[in-house]
Amino acid sequence: MATTVKTALVTGAGSGIGRGIAVALDQLGIRLALAGRDPEKLEGTKALLTQANGPARLTPCDVADRTQVNAAVEGILKEFGQLDILICNAGTNVRNRKLEVLTPEDWDLMIATNLTGAFNLVHAVLPSMRVREDGLIIQIASLSGKRASVLGGTGYSASKFGQAALGICLAREEGAHGIRSTVIYPGEVNTPILDARPVPVGTERREVILQPADVAAAVKFLVELHPRANVPELIIKPTVDDFA
């Protein structure tokens, strides 16, 4: 009997963790929809894929824009028939992070992208998963969403705490409907978001922290679990860093 090809939507897929996750899921034979704000970056990710189960769908989209998200999910469902996996990975941070310099505009940007963006995606995808009583939704949060971080900043930490709460409540409400939800809390990862740091991150430090492939491996583990098993929360951090 033929095996049904699974479909995943990965947001923030143009670089960093999202690109790493896309490559890992592609290697599992999962059909992909790639979302991000920069079409050229999405093309760069697509070029890395085998696309053995059909071409990846590129979906330029700002997750903070609910209309764009709804249209994107509607298009994916129309083309692929179903969405089995949702990876809420799109996120952002700002350079000026301390409360004395954090502007209302930067606060709004982080809440809109990191928290409201995740909600927009969940809200758009959940109805089709409920009908099938099956699905996996993964929030790529941050250790700053587990322990508020001055390094990550007040606004970023607040947005990531909210994203984590969304994922945890989702698991509690929808588990009985066959829908699994996991919040992943990565420590420091070598991605372009480090370029927004107030103090530059040096090459030596970048080499010993997590790489996108490490977070992608955690996602792969969750995807390969039997549907009867759910991991509500998963922390992954650089070995060289303390967790106290």
Active site residues: 156
Buried b (16+ CB within 10 A) or exposed e, 24-53: bbbeeebbbbbbbbeeebbeebbeebeeee
Measure Cα distances from 7 to 42, 110, 150, 170 in Å: 17, 28, 37, 20
Measure Cα distances from 197 to 20, 145, 232 in Å: 21, 17, 30
Q: Which amino acid is at 82?
A: Q
Task: Report residue 169 as tokens.
Answer: 């409540």
> Is residue 9 within 8 Å of 33, Cβ to Cβ?
yes
Measure Cα distances from 30 to 24, 49, 97 in Å: 9, 11, 38
Alpha helices (H) in the chain, listed in sequence order: 16-27, 39-46, 66-80, 104-110, 117-132, 154-174, 203-208, 212-224
